[in-house]
A = this chain, B = another copy of it.
Amino acid sequence: MNNHWITNQAIRARWLDEAERLKPALHSEAVSPVHEARFVDDAAAFQGWRAAAGCSLVDLASRELSEGDSVDLDFGTHLVGSLEISLEAATRGVDAPVRLHVLLGEMPIEIAAPREPFHSNMLARTWLQEETVHLDDVPGTVALARRFAFRFVRISVTGLSRQHRVRIASVIARTSGAVIEPVAPPAGLTHKLAAIDAVAVRTLRNCLHTVFEDGPKRDRRLWLGDLRLQALANAVTFRRFDVVKRCLLLFAGLARPDGLVEACVFEKPQPLPSNNLMADYALLFVPTLLDYAVESGDWETGRELWPVARHQVATITGALDAAGKLPAGDPFGWTFMDWQPKLHREGAFLGLAIYVLREAAKLAAKVEDDEALSGFTARAETLSRIAHEQWRDAAGNFISGPQAQRSLATTAWMILAGVVQDAEARAVLHPALNDPAYLQPAGPYLWHHVVHAFHLAGDRATGLHLMEQYWGKMLDLGADTFWEVFNPADHFASPYENAQLNSYCHAWSCTPSWFLRHPQFK
């Protein structure tokens, strides 16, 4: 196999240049708040806070604010962009600079709940969206310099001469996102499914900027696992294949010196690797490339990047031992699969490896790489046999780890891998659902794969039902966009031990649109 691209900087540079050329133009709209928000401490509401409607904007503009006062605003839905705040003097001759603290949140909890003492096991406090700005002169307008993701905004007057007061004359959000064409709702959906689709489409849209971001609040970056799911939904909605191509080129151009692709790349100030390797995400470059070529018809790019895809599969699946396990010491980085900390990941990862080998074989066939086609096909069969023989218990359930852990993760991925199919697949999937003996998913990323597994197993009805239950529950709880993390049993669930840091518009939650729109599922 020709792995010339790995060390050839000219090829890398060409890919990055092409990615730069494909950077989409951004579009902006001015959006006003709908009304004042009054955050009500309400045990029945999601995360304990309900955003009630306060007074009108007209009334708000006449409110006189002294140092220490603040105003909460509700923009009515989830937005991505910046904010412009105009102040007027309520007293003549405001003599000193005015300081405002601006706190922006996707959800009420980010504004209404205390932020002190800050705690997170892994993330920096700077993910809380806040700014401190000064206006030297009143009347005046201050434009926040950064982009935020928000529906709610609290503006607090934290510095003002004692004898003076100001009014907030206007607050305008300047949205930001890639230019997209409006997408018509799919025909024939129930009211509930249509609503789920609309929120899923908005989720995808609000993550679509100069790359497909994982979440516009956090961490606003291009992750391979997220990109793969976004690209699926994109193909049946905005069809911005140019952005998908740009993202694939960024991963390829920024691959590590050993040719493995990073789990995440940084786009700004210029494309940079993130120094973050994940075995599952590296492999998922393959189906992302295949899906891109199939949906866009751009087989030229499929061919161009095939060596990158092939290298991931060959390297990582080639390293699996006779038991279908990766070598110790994470030579290919960590494995994600789901946020569930208790998940024993080896079984699910083996399913993913087989799934990727089969996708790689399809791609090899298309680009006429016969050696890879036969090699990957044979390897998939070998691993599938191993899965059959070594990763099931006596009852036929897929298991992982010394405790023979059963989980929806392992089960779903074995079905995506085609290790079991049809009636046999349904026979292992159904008992896995809602059975306390099976570890359930911790978030939408894995729920996507479970829903997909039901579709593949020929039980679309259960797939849609799960979607109504899980994504529909977010909707019932007030989601304007779908979330990074959602545990119906624990509204404060957060892999960061701080629900204020969760992203509430998260790419990997956008796939209901794919299931509801793609012809393969009709």
Chain A residues in contact with chain B, CB under 8 A?
Answer: 67, 92-93, 95-99, 123-127, 131-134, 136-137, 139-140, 142, 145-147, 159-162, 219-220, 266, 268-269, 272-276
- Residues on the B chain within 8 Å of A160, using CB: 124, 126
Nearest chain B CB to A96's CB is how many angstroms away?
A: 4
Q: Knowing A124-B161, A124-B162, A126-B159 touch, does A93 contact B132 (C-beta < 8 A)?
A: no
A93 to B503 alpha-carbon distance, docked (Å):
20
Q: Knowing A134-B146, A136-B268, A146-B136 touch, does A125 contact B159 (C-beta < 8 A)?
A: yes
Nearest chain B CB to A90's CB is how many angstroms away?
A: 13
- Residues on the B chain within 8 Å of A98, using CB: 126
* Copies of this chain held together in the complex: 2
A140 to B266 alpha-carbon distance, docked (Å):
13
Give the residue name and chain of the B residue nearest to A96 (CB): B124
A140 and B269 form a contact (CB under 8 A): yes
Give the residue name and chain of the B residue nearest to A274 (CB): B93
Q: Knowing A131-B132, A145-B145 touch, does A124 contact B137 (C-beta < 8 A)?
A: no
Nearest chain B CB to A124's CB is how many angstroms away?
A: 4
Contact partner, A93, options B123, B162, B275, Cβ 8 Å: B275
B134 and A126 form a contact (CB under 8 A): yes
A303 to B120 alpha-carbon distance, docked (Å):
71
A96 to B125 alpha-carbon distance, docked (Å):
9
- Residues on the B chain within 8 Å of A161, using CB: 123-124
B132 and A276 form a contact (CB under 8 A): no
Q: Knowing A124-B162, A132-B132, A160-B124 touch, does A137 contact B95 (C-beta < 8 A)?
A: no
Give the residue name and chain of the B residue nearest to A123 (CB): B96
Nearest chain B CB to A197's CB is how many angstroms away?
A: 31
A219 to B93 alpha-carbon distance, docked (Å):
12
- Residues on the B chain within 8 Å of A142, using CB: 145
- Residues on the B chain within 8 Å of A273, using CB: 92-93
Q: Knowing A126-B160, A132-B132, A161-B124 touch, does A268 contact B219 (C-beta < 8 A)?
A: no
The 4 closest A-B pairs by CB, nearest first: A96-B124, A126-B159, A93-B275, A92-B275
- Residues on the B chain within 8 Å of A268, using CB: 136-137, 140
A140 to B269 alpha-carbon distance, docked (Å):
7
A145 to B136 alpha-carbon distance, docked (Å):
10
Central interface residue in A269, A274, A276, by most chain B CB within 10 Å: A269
- Residues on the B chain within 8 Å of A269, using CB: 137, 139-140
Sampled A-B contacts (26; CB under 8 Å): A93-B266, A93-B272, A93-B275, A95-B219, A95-B274, A96-B123, A96-B124, A96-B127, A96-B219, A97-B126, A97-B127, A98-B126, A99-B126, A123-B161, A124-B160, A126-B134, A126-B159, A131-B134, A132-B132, A133-B145, A136-B146, A136-B220, A139-B269, A140-B269, A142-B145, A145-B145
Nearest chain B CB to A406's CB is how many angstroms away?
A: 34
Give the residue name and chain of the B residue nearest to A138 (CB): B269
Given contacts A96-B124, A137-B268, 17 further A-B contacts (CB under 8 A): A92-B273, A92-B274, A93-B266, A93-B272, A93-B276, A95-B124, A96-B126, A97-B124, A97-B146, A98-B126, A126-B134, A132-B132, A133-B145, A134-B146, A136-B147, A136-B268, A140-B269
Give the residue name and chain of the B residue nearest to A127 (CB): B96
Give the residue name and chain of the B residue nearest to A161 (CB): B124
Nearest chain B CB to A46's CB is how many angstroms away?
A: 25
Nearest chain B CB to A127's CB is how many angstroms away?
A: 6
- Residues on the B chain within 8 Å of A136, using CB: 146-147, 220, 268
- Residues on the B chain within 8 Å of A97, using CB: 124, 126-127, 146
